[in-house]
Amino acid sequence: MSQSKGTVVLAYSGGLDTSCILVWLKEQGYEVIAYLANVGQEEDFEAAQKKAHALGAKKVFIEDLRKEFVEEFIWPGVQANAIYEDRYLLGTSLARPCIARGQVKIAKQEGAQFVSHGATGKGNDQIRFELTCYALYPDVKIISPWRLPEFFNRFLGRNDLMEYAKNHGIPVPVTPKSPWSMDANLMHISYESGILENPKVIIHDIEILQICVPVKVTNIHDKTTCDSALELFLYLNKIGGKHGVGRIDIIENRFIGMKSRGIYETPGGTILFHAHMDIETFTMDKEVRKIKQSLSLKFSEQLYNGFWDSPECEFVRHCINKSQEYVQGKVQLSVYKGNVYILGRESPSSLYNRDLVSMNVQGDYDPCDAGGFIKINAVRLREHHRLQSKKDCKA
């Protein structure tokens, strides 16, 4: 038997992918330690532990991180009112550094030079995971199989993994693959990929409005159509009002410096707010959107404070108007019991590229590039760590 290339701590979930990676890493000559963090997902942890041992893991660590996840990650998120692009409460983003920190701790404790994970080469998680590792353990080597040609060229789809599993004694899941990928933790459950890669696919369907912002509203059920600004706004108010959409009770800060309380009902406005934001995110470049969003904050404040007719508000309106050049399309949504649910969207100027983002199709994208991207983003983090370590030594 050849000499070991070293020890890898693998972020192990018990599922098909990381089970195959575990065996594949051994095949490549590594010793593997499986690491499985409990951040609140539904999982048979005992079964996962047995399975990892059976597949040849040298050691298996299962850690309950739920308390530190809530106290050290979720609480700061709540304190910050952290929200991404106005809507997403960052459930997965919060869990990643918590898990990676645990994994690094084990790697150092066990003297392992390598860590590995099953995140794909197109997602955010690879970045969150690896930046944390580089920041806390700057000399670590990271094995990211889904970015290695010898791996991703061998496993082109789920069938290849199933085949490999059968040949290597890896238990194969009996239930069919769900139509999307889920990430569950204490904070949230997210669904991604699979059929969701088509942004038009409707997940829940209760009552449907078809909206072109802001030129036409169609009720898919009863075929009501409105196509003038006023008429469609009145119609949305009627629909929204019936369902109690957009009611808030808030404390707010007046321009003159006192706090007051208000209750607001904004049925049609709330529906349009969600529909517009959805089609905007669909069609507007990410960086343009960030700049536009900072202008919108200024616009909102100008508006609230009474400066509509001011040179600065004229200027900001001009800029925001420019940003809307390509914001067009159809949004399908459901108004139900006080909520507006976005169901699907389509647009001739969509910047969404299904092939590019798909986990099954390569698209015009080389997953190896993400490795360089991450390493360069980590240059600064490792320098910081170097300086901190120097200080800690002295102290």
Q: Which of 19, 116, 125, 144 is catalytic?
A: 125
Residues 206-245 that bind a second copy (CB under 8 A): 213-214, 229-230, 233-234, 237
Query: Dihedral of the CA atoms 125, 155, 152, 142 (nearest 10)?
Result: 50
- What is the smallest separation between the CB atom of 1 and a second copy, expressed in angstroms? 31
| Runs of H (alpha helix) within 153-245 | 158-167, 229-242
Q: In the set 43, 320, 328, 362, which binds a second copy (CB under 8 A)?
A: 320
Residue among 106, 97, 94, 85 at smallest CA distance from 129: 97
Residues 119-158 that bind a second copy (CB under 8 A): 122-124, 127-132, 135-136
- Among the candidate windows 14-22, 52-60, 158-166, 196-204, which touches a second copy by CB under 8 A? 196-204
Residues 354-383 that bind a second copy (CB under 8 A): 356-357, 364-366, 368-373, 375-383
62 in contact with a second copy (CB under 8 A)? no
- Among the candidate windows 44-52, 148-156, 217-225, 318-326, which touches a second copy by CB under 8 A? 318-326
Residue among 42, 34, 4 at smallest CA distance from 18: 34
Q: Which is nearer to a second copy, 94 or 106 (CB)?
A: 94
- Among the candidate windows 25-33, 45-53, 108-116, 260-268, which touches a second copy by CB under 8 A? 260-268
Q: In the set 47, 78, 172, 220, which binds a second copy (CB under 8 A)?
A: 78
Q: Which of 13, 17, 128, 347 is catalytic?
A: 17
- Among the candidate windows 43-51, 117-125, 156-164, 169-177, which touches a second copy by CB under 8 A? 117-125
- What is the smallest separation between the CB atom of 32 and a second copy, expressed in angstroms? 24
Q: Which is nearer to a second copy, 111 or 311 (CB)?
A: 311
Q: Which is nearer to a second copy, 62 or 320 (CB)?
A: 320
Q: How far apart are CA 353 and CA 342, in angstroms?
A: 19
Burial class (CB in 10 A: 0-12, 13-18, 19+), 335: buried
Full DSSP string of 312-365: HHHHHHHHHHHHTTT---EEEEEEETTEEEEEEEE-TT----HHHH-SS---S-
Scanning the structure block, which residue is given the tokens 């993400």?
A: 370
CB 48 within 8 A of CB 41: no
Residues 15-34 that bind a second copy (CB under 8 A): none
The DSSP bridge partners found for residue 204 are none
CB 343 within 8 A of CB 204: yes
- Among the candidate windows 16-24, 28-36, 154-162, 262-270, which touches a second copy by CB under 8 A? 262-270
Q: How far apart are CA 191 and CA 202, in angstroms?
A: 13
Q: Which is nearer to a second copy, 162 or 365 (CB)?
A: 365
Q: Which of 93, 181, 190, 350 is catalytic?
A: 181
CB 366 within 8 A of CB 296: no
- What is the smallest separation between the CB atom of 88 and a second copy, expressed in angstroms? 6
361, two tokens: 């199709």
Residues 277-316 that bind a second copy (CB under 8 A): 277-278, 280-282, 285-296, 298-301, 303-312, 315-316
Reply yes or no on whether 181 is catalytic.
yes
Question: How many amino acids of this chain bind a second copy (CB under 8 A)?
Answer: 167
Q: Which is nearer to a second copy, 160 or 369 (CB)?
A: 369
- Among the candidate windows 6-14, 148-156, 160-168, 344-352, which touches a second copy by CB under 8 A? 344-352
Q: Identity (one letter) of the amino acid at 78?
A: V
Reply yes or no on whether 278 is catalytic.
no
DSSP symbol at 394:
H
Reply yes or no on whether 190 is catalytic.
no
Reply yes or no on whether 350 is catalytic.
no
Q: Which is nearer to a second copy, 56 or 269 (CB)?
A: 269
Residues 83-102 that bind a second copy (CB under 8 A): 83-91, 93-94, 96-97, 101
CB 335 within 8 A of CB 239: yes
Q: In the set 4, 224, 225, 349, which binds a second copy (CB under 8 A)?
A: 349
What is the tally of helices (H) and strands (E) in the chain?
14, 14
352 in contact with a second copy (CB under 8 A)? yes
CB 319 within 8 A of CB 270: no
Scanning the structure block, which residue is given the tokens 């969207």?
A: 345
Long-range contact set of residues 160-166: C-beta below 8 Å, sequence gap at least 24? 161/16, 161/17, 161/20, 162/16, 164/20, 164/23, 164/24, 165/16, 165/19, 165/20
State the catalytic residues. 17, 96, 125, 181
